[in-house]
Amino acid sequence: MRTQLSFAPLSQIETELLAVLAADTQTSKDADAKPQPVLLTTDPAVQAAASSLLASGEFKAGANETALLHAPAGLAAKRLLLVGLGKQAKVTANSVRNAAGTAVRFIKPLGLRELVLSLLESDPKTLLHTASVRAAVEGAFIGDFDSDTYRSERKDQSVESFTLAAPANADKTALQAAFDEAIIIGESQNFARTLVNEPGNKLTPTLLGQRAAQMADEVGLGWEVHSTEKLRELKMGAFWSVSQGSAEPPALIVLRYEPIGLTSGPVLGLIGKGITFDSGGISIKPADKMEEMKTDMAGGAAMLGAMRAIALLKPKVRVLAVICAAENMPSGTAQKPGDVQTAMPFSPDKPGKTIEIINTDAEGRLVLADGLTYARQLGATHLIDAATLTGACVVALGHVNAGAFSNDEDAWAKFDAALTISGEKFWRLPLGEEYAEMIKSNIGDIKNTGGRWGGACTAAEFLKVFVEDTPWIHLDIAGLAWAEDSKPWIAKGPSGVAVRSILEWVRSYE
């Protein structure tokens, strides 16, 4: 998608479609109070073109509500699209992000290939122009993604040109910097979505390793991709146990970002679950919706997307990523409930933890256990992992929030602050000795499930065993990695959740 930032007057911009944002200024708490929509632009020609529609009451400026005007009088644009942000008092940068995505998705089925979106001129809630620019561009990229990659007669509806129109008196340098940054972030999130969208036969662990290496070469990251022999050399018994039931070999993907001349300070470790297909193994899943288990590598994809953005935005902090990719399949060589596996030891003088396998479908925490240990061994001083880990987290939070856990208040404070920039929704859930007791094993050190209740918390406690005292955040993204239904601003399918939040968490350590 071609992108540009324009400072020309809105009325003079020649385009197939000009989109302008609007908000409802009604503040009354009376349920019968009528909305009072206003356009968030000072351009008199645009105001005049939309005046009749606004006066009619047909358009209320609700969140992501749209209204289209053809041949608007006084404008060079052929069409004028109004996009609502909702109540003015509740407008955030994420409202702008979703509105931009809504505008892009609105024009795609119309066969239009170019869009000009007006940046807020009348700032409804002291939003910084730079924050609005970034949100709008990210939203445009998010809205342009569709998942119908393999249709034999696919009709490409991609938007070819996106222009963001900013006020002429704005700080052009600052806005251009935010604009350029947002392109990188939007493309990186869509890179992660592309990976999650791939079927299991088109993205095996080996192929995921190849895609990661190709991306790393393109953006200048250091990389290594290992397989079975390396897992055995490192004594990654937990990771290998998941792989052993599949004919497809595992892939241990390591990426490194090292700013030139930086030799001190924290080393941030990004660890991703990369189960390219999860049948559940011997504890096989129900057939219904098993096809969606191609998405069980969304945590790994999020880390790859974040690393792409990190490489291009160049924060002054060292970062490494470890993605543990495997298939979890049932076969004569698959691990069985009741087996005992030995995880990777952190050092030669410390034995690896022994894990009793209660349920082979609790495999994500097994690969992450060795991934977290390996990241620490490689020098990571702070850890963050992402995984589509538990259905229990979806039961607790639905498809509204993803789950988050942390053993360190400073690390969590940085992540919580990152959410105000990313606009993503995570809810912190508890850790505690009571949950740790639930995963103690009678035959080994720990078991890989703690029973039905508190499943997201016991899974997090399992991972906590392998981070020890290292500052750590765990993201359980099972509920948000795949959009079950299309929304005005995003298509049904992979969401790329966590890419933006992980990036901002990393940047907070500069």
With CA atoms as reference, report the closest residue to 371 among 386, 350, 360.
386
Q: Has 447 been annotated as catalytic?
A: no
The b/e string for 81-119 (b: 16+ C-beta within 10 A; e otherwise) is bbbbbbbbeebbbbbbbbbbbbbbbbbbeeebbbbbbbb
Q: Has 155 been annotated as catalytic?
A: no
With CA atoms as reference, report the closest residue to 110 among 163, 74, 155, 165.
155
Catalytic residue chosen out of the listed positions 365, 447, 464, 500: 365
Q: How far is CA 166 from the centre of its chain?
A: 27
DSSP 293: G
Alpha carbons 342 and 443: distance in angstroms, whole number: 12
Alpha carbons 193 and 233: distance in angstroms, whole number: 33
Alpha carbons 407 and 414: distance in angstroms, whole number: 13
CB 406 within 8 A of CB 474: yes
Catalytic residue chosen out of the listed positions 60, 285, 425, 428: 285
CB 382 within 8 A of CB 414: no
Rg (Cα) of the chain, in Å, rounded?
Answer: 24
With CA atoms as reference, report the closest residue to 411 among 474, 485, 343.
474
User: Does the CA dihedral 194-195-200-204 come out positive or negative?
Assistant: positive
Query: So which residues are the catalytic ones?
Result: 285, 365
